[in-house]
Amino acid sequence: MLKTKLFLSKNFTPIILVGLIFTSCFSENKRPEKNTLQFGAKEPPIINISPEFAGFKSIFADVAEKVIPTVVSITSTHIDTVFIRSNPFDFFGFGFPFGEPPRPQQQQRPQARERRQSGAGSGVIVSSDGYILTNSHVVSGASEIRIKLHDDREFPAEIIGFDTLSDVAVVRITQEVKDLPVAYLGDSDKLRPGDWVMAVGNPFGLSSTVTTGIVSALGRHTDSHQYQNFIQTDAAINPGNSGGALVNINGELIGINTMIFTRSGGHMGIGFAIPISMARNIMEQLIYSGEVRRGWLGVSIANLDQNMMEALGLKERGVLINEVFENEPAQRAGMKSGDVVISINGRRTPTPNDLRNIVATLIAGERYSVEVIRDGKKRTLTVIPSVRGESKEVAATDEKPEENSQLGMTLRNTERGVVSVERVQPGTTAERSGIRAGDVILAIKTASDRPFIEIKSTRDFDKEMRQLKGESIVLRLERNGQRFFVSLRLDR
């Protein structure tokens, strides 16, 4: 074994030496002298840019240069008090695991400790006095708020007010400040899907981040009962962008970034912003009065599906009035259950969300025109809204029920003079329409040009069914104290 190693060593040594000499000679002879090489092409590539696009090349940089200074970083700190014992076993009554437990006079009382939890978001400067517009979820409940400007100056701030129903909040810098850059508030009502937009904020703590995209859609809302009318955009919005600016191609603030749709926790091309028209209205109320006062009509509303529209003979979309509360503005205006609201003061109301947002902007005591469709005819009512308070609950009706095989459900009269559903047969029209056992039938509409007829007995119900001319009917039901409408298409 030793001879083999020596043999290999003697044969490989000359080869290694020759390689080193060859490499050294090659490097010395072939290395170019300094500044003898030209890197890159002599001329830039020739790109035929149209005159219209030439000015567009730097527009995003120009917009960012103006907007970035108006967007701030917000750090909100929540301070809690926790109590800590020196012996964790003593907390559970176990005493010390080894040796004798301390005597009562030796046991220490729990010590109060301060626990601080911080979160980061964004905000937009809207006043030279130091007022900043942001999201409610960024600052609500915070014990301390710090504002960091684009030029790295930091200031303490206080909460002026917040509104959780719209996710809008206003904070103000508490120290005297000068030369604050202020955002220009644009007109979000003029936005169209496809318009260029830019999002500016501090995602993941990365300050002054700019992303661009377009308006993907308008009037978006979730399934919650908040006041929502979101601008949807594909401009990248991530955690930390909340409260930041969404601006148009002119650098005008048209939205406050508020939330994203994501399955991964990051950007997936769907972000939402509160239109500045809504945010500004709430902001001014919070600053001037410290509270948000919304209009109130006193109705419960529902969406209209295609089947319901056909049953009511509607050719344009509107919002169905489920219930008109007693002694409320809608009742005083002559509004009735079953009316379909298509506009308020000329503003269209195709969906419940549109109606809810429009009513919220109405001023209590002012007069507004409400256009409704009732029994196939348009009517114009005048309503004077009040201030929104807590929603009134509709009292539930006692259940007691008879029978109707045409729709696939068994009915019974009740002691209070109404009809309730005792049983729904599987696979029938009633089941497909969502009717359940225990539902109370309050009224029926058998033709688009006929009014709703109140049902007080199964005899009333059968009488109306015999007068049916079309293929659809609409029932007004009550379930668990809530009243709503259901359309049924009869099998022929």
CB atoms within 10 A of CB 163: 21
Which candidate in 76, 122, 167, 343 is catalytic?
167
Beta bridge partners of 211: 199
The residue count for the chain: 492
Which candidate in 76, 137, 188, 448 is catalytic?
137
CB 150, CB 133: distance < 8 Å: no
| Backbone conformation region of residue 236, classed left if phi is above 0, alpha if psi is from -120 to 50, else beta | beta
Q: Which is it for the CA torsion 320, 323, 324, 330, positive or negative?
A: negative
CB 271, CB 287: distance < 8 Å: no
Q: Angle at CA 401, nearest 5°, toward 397 and 402? A: 150
CB 288, CB 247: distance < 8 Å: no
Distances (CA, A) of 254 to 55, 64, 192, 280, 307: 23, 15, 12, 10, 37
Q: 167 an active-site residue?
A: yes
Which candidate in 242, 337, 343, 433 is catalytic?
242
CB 136, CB 242: distance < 8 Å: no
> What's phi and psi for 474, nearest 5 deg?
-125, 130
> What's phi and psi for 341, nearest 5 deg?
-85, 125
Residue that the structure tokens 């079953």 belong to: 338
By annotation, the residues acting in catalysis are 137, 167, 242
